Amino acid sequence: MADILQEAHAPQNMRSAYRTLQQLYGEENIPLILGTSTHGAKTGMVSIEVGKDQMMLCLLDNYHKVPSQFRDSASFFVLGHEFGHIIAHPGKDAVYWIEGMKELPVEAYQKGKWMNCVSDIVVNWTVITATGVLQDAQKANIQKQMVEGWKASQFVRECSSKEGFKAHRQLLKDKKVSDNRYQPQGGLHGQYDNPATGNKYEATAMTPFYQKHIGHGRGSQYYPPINYCVSSNMGDNWKKVIMLKDESGLKKGKRYTVQATKTYDGRIDSKDFEPISEFKIDGNWVSARYCETCCPQCGNEAKNTWDNWWDYVPRAQMVASAESRGTWVYLLIQMFAFEWAMAYSSLVKYGGKKLNREAGEQFLEDIADDMDAVMRGK
């Protein structure tokens, strides 16, 4: 069972965002609990528990060239999503939820997972539209932050593999990156509050948990999506990808620099955090799905949430995943497309189109071939 920590082990910006959301949602009695396991989010009617991965999204020192509006909104969306489970559909009406689950046309053992996917769609809609915010004067501001936080949650690249952590420790040792580890008041980078006796660089059980995950080699490092880096004319290291399959003369496993990007409605080099259809590499347009994005600093894999579900995997691997995890994985792939159709219909401009149902429907038409390919492992 994962260790459960008190709120003081979370970073200050996360705690401040939580206090604000408690008031805005009218849930002042719901405490924040920090779990130490990855993917540890678990929200009931009496508490909100977030995992290590969600906490790390709130560590601002781990962000590199991510625009401030996306970086600073991450904590609001991370926590807002969990509040959404309480205010949107909750088990406050368990009978409705259980009966709805029974009606899903899938095997009994998969019904819970399918309902969780549906739940996340409902929750995200509630959060990014600020539907549950009680103070009308705050709705517009909170909605803006939630939309930006939602975009960041899908498109900020994360370097978090074992190889990445090892590489970042070496980069720091070789002084090839700035030291962004925690620095206690009056101390040095890399030291902790409440350290071990005789060694300020060794954490203890009394060291706030978040401090152990700040900095290169200690926590995930975050970067803007490829399209933002291309549009911003960043250096080539910010635009590197590795081909996942042979395509248009490009070789599987080889590293390339992205020259341009294209959205699903054909816009070139969009700077926004949104779905990208194609990359231009060596003069050829190829599906962005066939490219694994790289960490700008260490060169290892640095994927985002969208990539995790939409990047190319061979058909046999896709089928095996569905067989072992359940067919809900197909629903989750679709969820991303329908969420963005919702956003393009009501919150985010899809190119020059008006915010209406037609814009969302057009996006679904534009992405349909890719969604079919993802689900078929093509």
Q: What is the pLDDT, as a whole number, of residue 262?
A: 98
- Please choose, from the candidates 78, 129, 133, 123, the residue with its C-alpha nearest in 3D space to the C-alpha of residue 97: 123
Report helix, strand and coil shares of the chain as percent, to nearest 5: 50, 15, 40
Does the pLDDT value for residue 169 go beyond 90? yes
Does the pLDDT value for residue 38 go beyond 90? no
- Residue 199: what residue type? N
State mean pLDDT over 164-171. Answer: 98
For residue 322, what pLDDT band results from cuts at 50, 70 and 90? confident
Does the pLDDT value for residue 54 go beyond 90? no
DSSP lists the bridge partners of residue 188 as: none
State mean pLDDT over 263-268. Answer: 98
Percentage of the chain exceeding pLDDT 90: 62
Residue 312 has φ and ψ, to the nearest 5°, of: -65, 135
Rg (CA), the chain: 21
User: Greater confidence, 285 or 138?
Assistant: 285
3-class secondary-structure state, position 201: coil
Q: What is the pLDDT, as a whole number, of residue 36?
A: 62
Q: What is the pLDDT, as a whole number, of residue 66?
A: 97
State mean pLDDT over 130-134. Answer: 85
State mean pLDDT over 113-120. Answer: 83
For residue 78, what pLDDT band results from cuts at 50, 70 and 90? confident
- How many angstroms separate the CA atoms of 222 and 60, rounded? 9
Does the pLDDT value for residue 95 go beyond 70? no
Whether the pTM exceeds 0.75: the reply is yes
Q: In terms of residues, how long is the chain?
A: 378
Q: What is the pLDDT, as a whole number, of residue 69?
A: 94
For residue 9, what pLDDT band results from cuts at 50, 70 and 90? confident
User: Greater confidence, 353 or 23?
Assistant: 353
For residue 1, what pLDDT band results from cuts at 50, 70 and 90? very low
What DSSP character marks residue 251?
P
Does the pLDDT value for residue 157 go beyond 60? yes
- How many angstroms separate the CA atoms of 56 and 33, rounded? 14
Q: Please report, in angstroms and rounded to a whole number, the separation of the first and last CA atoms in the chain.
A: 39
Residue 345 tokens read as: 């219909």
Q: What is the pLDDT, as a whole number, of residue 3?
A: 47
- Residue 41: what residue type? A
- How many angstroms separate the CA atoms of 219 and 168, rounded? 10
Over residues 135-147, the pLDDT tens digits come to: 888 888 889 999 9
Does the pLDDT value for residue 19 go beyond 50? yes
Q: What is the pLDDT, as a whole number, of residue 2?
A: 44
Lowest mean pLDDT among 84-88, 117-121, 191-195, 325-329: 84-88
